[in-house]
Amino acid sequence: MAVPSLLLSIALSSALLFFLNTPSSANDSNVLLTGDVLGTDSQLYYPGATFVMQGDCNLVLYNKGRGFESNTHGEGVNCTLSLSDRGQLVITSSGGFTVWTSGVAGAAKTGKYAAVLRPDGEVAVYGPAVWWTPDFRSGAAGPNAAELAAIPMVDNLLLSSQVLDGGSNLATRDYTFVMKDDCNLALIKAGTSVLWQSGTAGRGLNCFLRLDHLGQLAVVGDHNYKTLWTSKNVSSQGDYVLILQITGQAVVYGPVVWSTSQSD
């Protein structure tokens, strides 16, 4: 829903940062995953935008645009926000009853979803995981284009139509997901320990990593645009996101199933 009244100064949003908590699961401050809980007076945060589970039980997005709110103020006590395994954001009151859910089709697949506060100031829920590196905690495997092209890069995210150039990386905590100058894509811990790699070292020149609108990652050499490696998994057409999670797992989620920019 459009919220003209939310065109507040960014100073207010910045002030909230100092008083509100980030997700209880200790994920990066711009990500909420299936199973995570955003407590009362907690938020997702990206410079210039906050997505807040307010103490009055209203879920509000403060940004430089039109903003968003669930219009649930006063409908519950000590409300929390969670993300279900069907891709729905759910506000729950302390009494255990559901106050509000985001609109997701009933045919949504069960799986792991990700709600992301993007650098364009909008929140989007991306669909079940379609590719992932191993979960190194347990040693087991884990579970519109022009506008997206204008969205700046984020340290821990790669969106559809964005590329990671050679020598560049995604980073979170002590993990990096690096597109090396030698054309090898690698997941590295503490700068030295290689946890996963594409095995493409020395096979191309001036390589880059690309995430397309079918959810597929590809390492490409720009000398002749030869594809050296792909994640192989291909899903339906849509917008996807690669997230380097604080667990050391790189996961592609998508396509988008709900967004504050499409919630009218």
Global confidence as pTM: 0.84
Q: Which residue has the tokens 């009151």?
A: 93
Residue 27 has pLDDT above 80, yes or no: no
Over pLDDT 70: what percentage of the chain? Answer: 81
Average pLDDT over residues 36-53: 95
- AA identity, residue 44: L
pLDDT at 105: 58
Number of Cβ within 10 Å of residue 64's Cβ equals 14
Q: Which residues pair with 179 in a beta bridge?
A: 168, 185
pLDDT at 2 over 80: no
Domain boundaries, the chain: 31-138+148-259
Output the pLDDT for position 14.
38
- What is residue 15's predicted lDDT score, i.e. its pLDDT? 37
Q: What is the mean pLDDT of residues 226-230?
A: 96
pLDDT tens track for 65-118:
889 999 999 999 999 999 999 999 999 999 999 999 998 756 678 999 999 999
3-state helix, strand, coil in the chain (%, to 5): 10, 40, 55
Q: What is the pLDDT of residue 223?
A: 74
Q: What is the CATH number of domain 31-138+148-259?
A: 2.90.10.10
Q: What is the DSSP string of 172-227?
A: ETTEEEEE-TTS-EEEEETTTEEEEE-S-TTS-SSEEEEE-TTS-EEEEETTTTEE
Task: Say if residue 10's pLDDT is above 80.
Answer: no
pLDDT score of 130: 92
In tens, the pLDDT along 116-160 reads: 999 999 999 999 999 999 875 544 433 354 544 455 567 999 999
Residue 201 pLDDT: 97
Q: Rounded distance, CA 10 to CA 205, Å?
A: 43
Q: Mean pLDDT across the chain, nearest whole number?
A: 85
